[in-house]
Amino acid sequence: MRSSFRLLLVALCITASAQQYQPALPGYRYQFPRDHFNHPDYQTEWWYYTGNLRARDGHRFGFELTFFRQAISREANPSAWIVRDLYMAHLALSDISRARYYSTERLNRAGPGIAGVDAASETIWNGNWQARISPNAHHLRGIVDNFSVDLTALPEKPPVIHGPNGVSQKAEGAEHASHYVSFTRMKTTGSIELNGSQYEVEGSTWMDHEFFSEPMDTAETGWDWVSLQLDDNSELMLYRLRHKDGSVDRYSSGTYVDNRGRTLHLALADFSMTQSGPIWKSDDTHASYPVAWSIAVPQLNLRLEISTPLNSQEFVSRAGPSYWEGAIDVQGRRGDQPVRGSGYLEMTGYAQTAYSAAHPGITR
């Protein structure tokens, strides 16, 4: 990955200003299936799949498969090798039953079909990793030497558009926003191969698709994000944007999806998300992550506790910032009724300084 990391550094040096790309503005008219695919007028885009799965013998797994597109240039040039976009992909598998975590990444230019997004073939790909988004199913595949995932995820609810008037605001100013769509509950079946053993699995997947040009403010250092799938067939997404001084940005927000697919936007004043338990320190980046959280949504009479069955789910990247992304368990109460569930927790911005200090030859 050293050559890939150098390629990223060179590309970032020549990246066109975000002002040359379209900002995410209120009133965007979503059209599906068009908006499941590429938006080249926006500088950054990602397709993010995470899920909790079990084999027939009870063996538990979590997985992440993510495709990123970063615009570099819109120069008119007929060469297949011109770097208009960089395509990065992350693949991770949490073997929760054996307390092991596996991850890998790729960084490619489009070239002659090496990576890209194609609505005609309904495919987002990077090498032989791909997501095919057909009208009724998402087909996911990721293959490396020691593990692979081959999954089919069936949406159980329509796509959810986050934020008022079609935008998910991330800071003060019209430019600091994204267009953000999710499939919040997808019935998932397929197979996992790990170190020579194959598992037939089933479970549930969450998918995020986001496109934007300049979402974060310079005062923001990272975020804490959760996607929760509760056993009453409702879902909850929250993100908490952190400032460099430790305060939380007032544009932190979330979305609640009820058991019929109806949505409720949650502003920061509508919920609390606070650290509640142990801190896990990474041996790789020396970053410290709060892996337990308490969540309250008073208007839904909902109080939840989040914990993880596997602390060591840090994605250590050689081509970008490292972050913690892992499977979580949820338990709590809705009023006087118990509620349980599972989901994924993502924490960014904790490892950047620590990783650079531990590896002085690498600059974030």
Q: Is the pLDDT of residue 96 over 70?
A: yes
pLDDT tens, residue by residue, 326-358: 999 999 999 999 999 999 999 999 996 433 333
CA 87 to chain centre: 15
Amino acid, res. 227: S
The more confidently predicted of residues 363 and 317 is 317
Q: How many CB atoms lie within 10 A of CB 270?
A: 17
Q: Mean of the per-residue pLDDT values for the chain?
A: 90
pLDDT of residue 218: 86
Where does the pLDDT of residue 112 fall: very low under 50, low under 70, confident under 90, or very high at 90 and above? confident
pLDDT of residue 359: 34
Report, as an integer, the average pLDDT of 98-124. Answer: 96
User: May I ask the CATH architecture of the domain 2-358?
Assistant: Beta Barrel (2.40)
Q: Is the pLDDT of residue 5 over 70?
A: no
Distance, in Å, from the CA atom of 359 to the CA atom of 361, rounded to the nearest integer, reads: 6
Please tell me the pTM assigned to this model: 0.91
pLDDT of residue 277: 86
Where does the pLDDT of residue 360 fall: very low under 50, low under 70, confident under 90, or very high at 90 and above? very low
pLDDT of residue 215: 67
The more confidently predicted of residues 2 and 91 is 91
The more confidently predicted of residues 332 and 111 is 332
Distance, in Å, from the CA atom of 1 to the CA atom of 118, rounded to the nearest integer, reads: 26
Report, as an integer, the average pLDDT of 103-109. Answer: 95
- As a whole-number percent, the residues of the chain with pLDDT over 90 amount to 82
